[in-house]
Amino acid sequence: MRLTRRCAAAVRLLAALGAATALTLPAAAQVNTESMRVGAEEPGWASTIDLSSSLQRGNTEREILGAGARVQYAWLHANGTSNPSEAESTDGEDAPQRPTNVIFLTSNYSFTRLNESRFVNNALSHLRFIREHSGRFSYEVFGQHQFNEFTRLEQRLLFGGGGRFRVLQAPRAEVFLGTGYMLERETLDLPAELADTRRSEHHRSTNYLTIRYNSRDERLRLVETLYFQTRFDRAEDYRVLSETSFEIQLLRRLALAINLNIAHDSEPPTGVKETDVVLSNSLRYSF
């Protein structure tokens, strides 16, 4: 009963945070949630805040301000254990040794001003629930709301779920494979002559590979994630996202994050290039 009340309270709080985010952040470009799985092995609450800025002067004047936040709650279900010495195998597989339920909400917002006259925004909110079935397999369900004025995306809504497989677990490295289904609804900012294609709804396959590595002293952390998303009815309409995240621990709760993001859309909106490359730096505070 106590566990049920705690779970219900966690869901209510995260839902409230999601509603507040939707009101305060119009919502951002595609985000790699794999690089932001904080405190995943400790039951309870965990959070991070990211802040970034960039300034360019000369032929082009540009100011970029960015912020991100994530809140997560993890708990064991009835037969779970976080103590390896207490874990027992009942089906021939390794028993769970980490929180077997995780729910998190992550939000990003970026504001760009060009030549003191043009303002461009992009933002995103992503809610995900993960339930570990065994030491090697987990279920996931998720929802996402975003927009990106850089790519003419007025709104994108995603709903989906799938499975996540742990391929490798070593003292300082992990490898995961994920696959699933998502329903995607988009509204684009298109010229009047293309108004008929402004709104769309597609069923997509979503797949990813994640590689994580921590240094021996855990001061350096590398996460590489590769996403591939294609339509079931039109395989040539696909998206690929590669994100490399390198984190340097500066203080106990403060880290410097360096991210290289390469996104490719095989069929982008009119006037938008197929490939985007973004190199960004941010300070990340965990609590």
- Tens-digit pLDDT profile for residues 105-130: 999 888 888 776 667 788 899 999 99
CATH assignment of 2-286, among 1.10.3470.10, 3.40.190.290, 2.40.160.40, 3.90.800.10: 2.40.160.40
Please, which pLDDT band fits residue 160 given cuts at 50, 70 and 90?
A: very high
- Cβ-based neighbours of 239, under 8 Å, separated by 6 or more: 30, 227, 228, 229, 230, 263, 264, 265, 266
Q: With cut-offs at 50, 70 and 90, classify the pLDDT of residue 32.
A: low
Note the pLDDT of residue 82.
47
Asked if 48 and 69 touch (Cβ cutoff 8 Å), the reply is yes
Band of pLDDT at residue 149, cut at 50, 70 and 90: confident
Q: What is the mean pLDDT of the chain?
A: 79
pLDDT of the residue at 20: 37
Alpha-carbon distances, residue 200 vs 71, 73, 134, 159, 197 (angstroms)? 31, 34, 37, 14, 7
Identify the band that residue 59 occupies on the pLDDT scale cut at 50, 70 and 90.
low
Short-list 2, 11, 48, 75, CA closest to 254: 48
Instruction: State the residue for tokens 């009101």.
Output: 23
Supply the pLDDT for residue 266: 94
Question: Quick one: what percent of the chain has pLDDT higher than 90?
Answer: 45
Q: Residue 76: is its pLDDT beyond 60?
A: yes
Q: For residue 195, give both structure tokens.
A: 């108004």
Segment 69-96 shows an average pLDDT of: 61
Report, as an integer, the average pLDDT of 238-251: 94
Instruction: Give tens-digit pLDDT for 38-53.
Output: 445 678 899 999 988 7
**Burial group, residue 132, by CB count within 10 angstroms (0-12, 13-18, 19+):** buried
Residue 14: predicted pLDDT? 42
- pLDDT of 180 > 90? The answer is yes
Return the pLDDT at 278. 82
Q: Where are the domains of the chain?
A: 2-286
Using the 8-state DSSP alphabet, how is residue 245 labeled? E
One-letter amino acid for residue 265 of the chain:
D
